[in-house]
Amino acid sequence: MITFRVIYLLLGALVLAVIAASTGVRAEGVTKQDILNDQKTTTDVLTAGMGPRIQRWSPLDKVNKENVANLVPAWSFSFGGEKQRGQESQALYRDGVIYVTGSYSRMWAIDARTGEEKWQYDARLPEGILPCCDVVNRGAVLFGDKVYFGTLDAKLVALNAETGKVVWRKELGDFKAGYSYTAAPLIVNDMLVTGVSGGEFGIVGRVDARNAETGELIWSRPTVEGHVGTLNGKPSTMTGKVNESWPGDMWKWGGGATWLGGSYDPDVNLIYFGTGNPAPWNSFMRPGDNKWTSARIALNPDNGEIVWGFQTTPGDGWDYDGVNEFIPFDTEVDGKTVKAGATADRNGFFYVLDRTNGKFIRGFPFVKNITWAKGLDENGRPIFDPKFRPGDPTKSSDPKKGSSVFAVPSFLGGKNHQPMAYSHLTKLFYVPSNEWGMDLWNTPVTYKKGAAYLGAGFTLKPLFDYVGSLRAIDPTTGETKWEHRNKAPYWGGVLTTAGGLVFIGTPEGYLKAIDDETGKELWKFQTGSGIVAPPMTWEMDGEQYVGVTSGWGGAVPLWGGEVAKLVKYLNQGGSFWVFKLPKKLAAN
């Protein structure tokens, strides 16, 4: 017998379904399993990196080598206003809605079929924010019924994905001391995992895990030895030992910012983060390895304890950081399959590590003419060349400036924030690298809250008649299979697909599709401003779409020296472009 209560419940469920369909938001929200399956599913993009392993690989093949030349714009959405600058965000997609962040800590929800705005959120940024490298934002994450992102005044914000209304807002650090936040958060189980930015101001890096529903802190892990973490609101364990590899009180303002975000491998249940440069840049003030800066660290998601660490540039004196993404993948070692991870470091070397324990498997240069190190030893430690470490200013004839060196690569790195991608078809990594060097010298400096804490001067210079080089790298041999050069630096990321394509944008404004086996350019489109963001792709209504954020800016025009002069003609912008195949062609 059907009662009134049963009818009432059925009608309520129907109403919720209709609401969900009309708004583009599923009633049940994004689940943990959805996050884990993000790379496998083609009808949504929930995370920056297109999955917790951030391989930036899509199994979609409807756009492929044979038809990509026919790709055309479906629509373009302008970010509008005068808030241009660098646009480094990878967008998200779910149930007919695009979510994309922009400069000055903004976010939009856009109808993916029409390009019409559904809502916009603008963070109210205070006076006196201290972003290092432009007012960028690198993306968001969807979970439950919310979308999460960080702001330049070091806040973490949870918005209702349907309305854009603030659900909660939490502080990551004091922006007046130099803290900021630009990375896309990471979802691990029911937790929201984030880092912090601000290493150039002497802040101390850390990784935080919060309850995604409430924003309450679960654990926190500092990245510099001597600092104590927290667990469930109480002090937990110290990172390393006080003064084990830091002199005096230098560790108190030690840098190690976790400014690029992390990855997660559910197979081994570890979170991976890169850590930034030690502070200050002047390495003569802090002799030692300065753990755990310029490193990759693996953390236990249950308590935030460091399981292993691997320093790519111990005692970093060039601002090489170690923050570049760590991508889990499986490889063959002595005939056996090994759970590995790969990272292309700013210092110019490509590393393959055992992702279960951090042991060094192999490493090799991926850019040319490296000067600061002669190579890597059997444990992956750099073999420093003392001739190319900038001099101690206290022993210089000029007390305000130590001896200058020409170091390769420059501090902007063989690869910077722009993420590489891994192809399940070719088993290659596609690395957006740059060829440049720098004149570098040390200067005296003292720590002052909220002031730049560098102790160095620099000028960037190009090495060749090009700077950017997209390389297809075999992680088992170190061989570069092909190279696609670009006059301006590559400052956006890479997407690779089962269609045999590698998508990448250029500062000159082109989104390009490249053959993953040969490096041949198959298609390009001019978006009107430089692309410094990674592309993404999804399936909707049975069709494959490709999207990318366009808007020139970031660190190159601010810090690029002679390289910045090469690209000073480029125009700023702010828009999101979507491409598809014409239906008739797509059906062939």
Q: Which residues are catalytic, by number?
A: 319
Is 298 within 8 Å of 263 (Cβ atoms)?
A: no
CA angle 238, 242, 245 (to 5 degrees): 115
Chain length of the chain: 588
| Distance between CA atoms of residues 250 and 259, nearest Å | 20
Is 404 within 8 Å of 440 (Cβ atoms)?
A: yes
CA distances in angstroms from 410 to 53, 351, 364, 372, listed in the order given: 28, 19, 18, 10
Which one, of 300, 148, 123, 302, lies nearest residue 215 by Cα? 148
Query: C-alpha dihedral over 86, 141, 71, 569, to 10 degrees?
Result: 0
Is 453 within 8 Å of 447 (Cβ atoms)?
A: yes
Which one, of 258, 293, 212, lies nearest residue 47 by Cα? 212
For residue 361, what is the DSSP state? E
Amino acid making up residue 354: D
**Which helix (H) or strand (E) segment is 381 a member of?**
none
Which one, of 440, 438, 445, lies nearest residue 400 by Cα? 445
| Distance between CA atoms of residues 418 and 59, nearest Å | 21
Is 535 within 8 Å of 493 (Cβ atoms)?
A: yes
